[in-house]
Amino acid sequence: MNTQTGRRPTILDVAAAAGVSKSLVSLAVRGDPGVRAETRARILDTADRLGYRSNPWARSLVRGRSQSVVVLVDDLRSGYHTDVVHGVEDAAEENGMAVVIGDGRRDRGALRGRLERLMSLGPDGIVIVSGQADSAMIGEFAARLPLVVVGRPVDLPDGAGQVSNDDRMGMRLAVHHLVALGHRRIAHLPGSPRPAAVARRESYERTMAELGLGAHVRVIPTATELVDAVAAGEADAATAVCCANDRIAVDLIGRAVDAGVDVPGRLSVAGYDNLDLAAQVRPAITTVDQPRRAMGALALRQLADMLADGETRREVVTPTLVLRDSTSPLVEDPPIA
Amino acid sequence: MNTQTGRRPTILDVAAAAGVSKSLVSLAVRGDPGVRAETRARILDTADRLGYRSNPWARSLVRGRSQSVVVLVDDLRSGYHTDVVHGVEDAAEENGMAVVIGDGRRDRGALRGRLERLMSLGPDGIVIVSGQADSAMIGEFAARLPLVVVGRPVDLPDGAGQVSNDDRMGMRLAVHHLVALGHRRIAHLPGSPRPAAVARRESYERTMAELGLGAHVRVIPTATELVDAVAAGEADAATAVCCANDRIAVDLIGRAVDAGVDVPGRLSVAGYDNLDLAAQVRPAITTVDQPRRAMGALALRQLADMLADGETRREVVTPTLVLRDSTSPLVEDPPIA
DNA sequence: CTGAAAGCGCTTACAG
DNA sequence: CTGAAAGCGCTTACAG
């Protein structure tokens, strides 16, 4: 039961009660400078007394703008996505815009369905934070509304803006760190076939080659396989791993513990993404951090710019390495590479 | 750059192109049965060809409804909240409604600010999933729109609906489980002073008393204190703990590991809420599960009913115990209670 | 500074 | 089955 007595007051009711025209009420409530101070005060008072609230639909209808954007994420549960969303929200607040969050639930169909539903709210633009979204879908929605992608899809269609992290640089940081600790037999646990994961794997391979460690390149498909080799004490088993992302690193560490393989004692593990989880598990995971909130804020500002002048950009931000407890100096004598 | 050439087509453009009146187009696109099949087909074809999409603002303005609801959560990162949101979304989909998610970021001010912003979208109703929201705030918004609270705030104002889990029953399940495993010195790690946490603590105390274990009731404020006592081998140290929620359980287990206290060997730990995290950590945590999606769905259906007939309900759902690895039978001889 | 008027794009009776 | 008209609540020129 809401206590609205009859219908909500409109601009007309306020005008009548304040003894002015409705146009003047409109100007006053929007803070237009062309209204005498005392008149404005009287009108605002009346509006307050009547409990007047501007009708958003009427406003949007006549302005052709809703002052809102949709931010669509792959998975709400992921701290990664949530941080980006917070960056978008903070920048939106500065722009006086509302942000509507949509959750793709890690499912392409759900992602699309959700966006379609949210389009019915009449947003002014779209931010997509998802590796799930294919470029056809992105292109289709970019044709309807200004759109910015946070991340790195295969081939971003023209007309879509972009904010991404430098995956190549990030993985280099991880590999360099492990090498600096004395490791040579550094394996890689790859992620999905998505672009970010592919870029990270390629960077791993390239960086190893650059460091003269090409012979030690091992892309190992499953954590089990890797852990088994280490547990069995195989001569060429890896002493360190860089994972495509933190989830994989967490899973790996779990399996290592189960198999009695000490991390980082016998196996140093580096992650990527700096999820909350990476700091929560034991040992806390050394990982690559993307400036997620900054990425979200950049995305929203780019969207605002697109709304103003239609300009599209591709922005790249630089990741950093976060040192924690899952990596340590090599203890055994490694065979010289 | 979006490829809209000039302005978007309206119902009038479709009407002209199809050679009918605009009212007929309106009826046809909404699937009104009073339009001859072939006419409808022609109109729909034309609409498609022109890329016509109904303007949501105009529709909402004239209908006085937006077919959308806001669901406001305390913390998006929490799997608990996310599951409730998914329940709301699924039920909303059945009702042809869009759901707009707002994130309170575990901060009362942020929660309120976000809701206020999202009100500018003109939602038809509000679902609040938050212990943060005080009853004044709930009352205020419930006076503006139909509102349902998921959870259990102190004194829910009239006019707000409610869906909650039976915290009393849930904590009973946990305590009974530990007692069945042979534990007697069962401590409790309390949560915040929020209602759900208080109800759980009280249920712990009451259940212990019912089982004749009143003498063993120990509400211990910090995990450190508890772990220290166990590590020091104090004679009356707890052999089991039921925590007010999973976060506390995770923290406790982390500290226990750090202090060399084996879980569940020397200390059985039960959580509450069944967060994703509870299954991910080692040992996986025995916990109490709330039927979160069901709660979300109930909330939305109640909202839909309120929209239809203004009826408000208080619904209570029953939690269940999920057995995992953090609890085990008592090994030492316990002093008989 | 202030008011009368048109119009945003739709839906809803109301006549035919 | 179909069309002409009013109206949802606002904003925006346009006159005064």
Q: Which residue has the tokens 């009913």?
A: B305
Whether nucleic acid strand C comes within 7 Å of the CB of A36, the answer is: yes
Give the residue whose CA sits closest to D12 at C1': A62
- What CA–CA distance (Å, rounded) separates B250 from B235? 25
| pLDDT for the residue B6 | 60
Nearest C-alpha neighbor of A146 from the set A324, A313, A282, A321: A313
CA B264, CA A125: separation in Å to the nearest integer? Answer: 51
The residue assigned the tokens 């025209």 is A21
Terminal-residue alpha carbon distance, chain A: 75
What is the residue-wise DSSP string for A156-196?
PPTTEEEEEE-HHHHHHHHHHHHHHTT---EEEE---SSHH
Percent of chain B with pLDDT over 70: 96
Retrieve residue A255's tokens: 């399996």
pLDDT digits (tens, 9 = 90+) for B198-221: 999 999 999 999 999 999 999 999
Rounded to 5 degrees, φ, ψ at A220 are -105, 120
Confidence band of B332 (pLDDT split at 50, 70, 90)? low
Shortest Cα–Cα distance, B328 to chain A (Å): 18
- pLDDT tens track of chain A, all 337 residues? 344 445 789 998 898 888 888 888 998 888 888 788 888 888 999 999 999 999 999 999 999 999 999 999 999 888 889 999 999 999 999 999 999 999 999 999 999 999 999 999 999 999 999 878 888 999 999 999 999 999 866 678 888 999 999 999 999 999 999 999 999 999 999 998 888 899 999 999 999 999 999 999 999 999 999 999 999 999 999 999 999 999 999 999 999 999 999 999 999 999 999 988 899 888 999 999 999 999 999 999 999 999 998 789 999 999 999 999 999 999 865 444 4
The residue behind tokens 């967490």 is A250
Taking the Cβ of residue A262 and every Cβ of chain B, the question of whether any pair is shorter than 8 Å is answered with no
Nearest C-alpha neighbor of A68 from the set B70, B235, B278: B70
- Per DSSP, helices labelled H in B51-161 are 56-63, 79-94, 108-119, 135-142
CA–CA gap between residue A269 and residue A245 (Å, rounded): 11
Q: Which nucleotides on chain D have any atom < 7 A from a protein Cβ?
A: 1-5, 7-13
**Non-local CB neighbours of B231 within 8 Å, separated by 6+ positions:** B259, B260, B261
Beta strands B287-289 and B320-322, pairing class: antiparallel
Contact B227, B251 (CB under 8 A): no
Q: Does the distance separating the beta carbons of A66 and B2 come in below 8 Å? A: no
Location of structure tokens 């619904």 = B315
- The neighbouring-strand residues paired with B164 are B316
Q: If you ran DSSP here, which 8-state letter would residue A35 be given?
A: S
- How far does B85 lie from chain A, in Å, by closest CA? 10
Of B1-5, B103-107, B309-313, which has the strongest mean pLDDT? B103-107
End-to-end CA, chain B: 75
* Residue B264's pLDDT band (cuts 50, 70, 90): very high
Burial of A206: CB neighbours in 10 Å, binned 0-12, 13-18, 19+ = middle
* Neighbouring C-beta atoms of residue A22, cutoff 10 Å: 14
Give the three-state DSSP class for B147: strand
Q: What is the pLDDT of residues A267-284, one digit of tens each?
A: 999 999 998 889 988 899
Instruction: Name the nucleotide nearest A36; use CA and C1'.
Output: C1
B3 chain-A contacts, CB cut-off 8 A: 143, 159
Q: How large is the average pLDDT for residues B233-242?
A: 95
**Predicted local distance difference test score (pLDDT) of residue A32:** 83
Q: Which nucleotide is nearest to B65 (CA to C1')?
A: D8
Instruction: Please count the other Cβ atoms lying within 10 Å of the Cβ belonging to residue B190.
Output: 18
Tokens of A209: 């080659």
Which single residue is written with the structure tokens 């008149």? A39
Find the nucleotide nearest A61 (Cα to C1′). Answer: C8
Q: What is the DSSP letter of B281?
A: S
Whether B100 sits inside 8 A of A121 (CB atoms) is yes
CA B24 – CA B22 distance, rounded (Å):
5
DSSP alpha helices (H): ranges in A190-335?
Answer: 195-210, 223-231, 246-258, 276-280, 292-309
Residue lying closest to nucleotide C8, CA to C1': A62
Q: Please tell me the predicted confidence (pLDDT) of residue A135.
A: 87
Chain A residue with minimal CA distance to B77? A77
Task: Sort out which chain A residues have CB atoms less than 8 A from B89's CB and list them.
Answer: 103, 114
What one-letter code names the amino acid at A91? A
Pairing of strands A287-289, A320-322: antiparallel
Q: What is the pLDDT of residues A132-183, one digit of tens each?
A: 888 899 999 999 999 999 986 667 888 899 999 999 999 999 999 999 999 9
Residues contacting residue A3 through CB under 8 Å, at least 6 positions apart:
B143, B159
SS3 B302: helix
- Assess contact for B298 and B163: CB atoms under 8 A: yes
Non-local CB neighbours of B260 within 8 Å, separated by 6+ positions = B231
Contacts of B159 in chain A (CB under 8 A): 1-3
* A301 three-class SS: helix
**Distance in angstroms (rounded) separating the CA atoms of residues B313 and B148:** 9
Q: Which of B61, B158, B277 sits opposite A58 (nearest CB)?
A: B61
The answer to whether the C-beta of B61 is closer than 7 A to strand C is yes
Q: Is B5 on the interface with A (CB under 8 A)?
A: no
Asked whether the beta carbons of residue B102 and residue A101 sit closer than 8 angstroms, the reply is: yes
Rounded alpha-carbon distances, angstroms, from residue A271 to A174, A318, B81, B236, B238 = 8, 16, 27, 42, 37
* Strand D neighbors by CB, 7 A: A 7-8, 10-12, 22-23, 26-27, 29-30, 52-55, 58-59, 61-63; B 20-24, 27, 34-37, 39, 58, 61-62, 64
A282 contacts in chain B (CB < 8 Å): 254, 257-258
Nearest CA of chain A to the CA of B214: how many Å?
35
- Round to whole Å and give the CA distance between A59 and A67: 10
Q: Is the CB of A320 under 7 A from strand C?
A: no
Q: Which residue of B has its CA nearest to A69?
A: B121
Measured from Cα to the C1' atom, the residue closest to C11 is B62
Question: Nearest CA to CA, how far is B100 from chain A (Å)?
Answer: 6
**Tokens for A130?**
């998802």
CB pairs under 8 A between A and B: 127
| CA gap A147, B4 in Å, rounded | 13
pTM above 0.95, yes or no: no
Give SS3 for A78: coil
Find the Å distance, CA of residue B21 to C1' of nucleotide D16: 39
For residue A161, CA distances in Å to A127, A142, A264, A305, B94 come to 9, 9, 41, 10, 34
Which residue among A57, A143, A146 places its CB closest to the CB of B61?
Answer: A57
> Which amino acid residue lies closest to nucleotide D2, measuring CA to C1'?
B24
Residue A96 burial class via C-beta count within 10 angstroms: exposed 0-12, middle 13-18, buried 19 and up? exposed
What is the CB neighbour count within 10 angstroms for residue A207? 22
Decide: CB of A41 under 7 A of nucleic strand C.
no
Average pLDDT for B243-272? 95
User: CA of B303 to nearest chain A CA: how many angstroms apart?
Assistant: 11
| Cα gap B205→B211, rounded to integer Å | 10
Q: With contact defined as beta carbons under 8 Å apart, do B68 and B123 qualify?
A: yes
Rounded to 5°, the CA angle A101-A106-A109 comes to 85
pLDDT at residue B68 is higher than 60: yes
CA distance B272 to B322: 9
pLDDT of residue A154: 63
Per-position DSSP letters for B236-273, written without gaps between them: T--SEEEESSHHHHHHHHHHHHHTT--TTTT-EEE-SB
Parallel, antiparallel or unpaired: strands A125-129 and A147-150: parallel
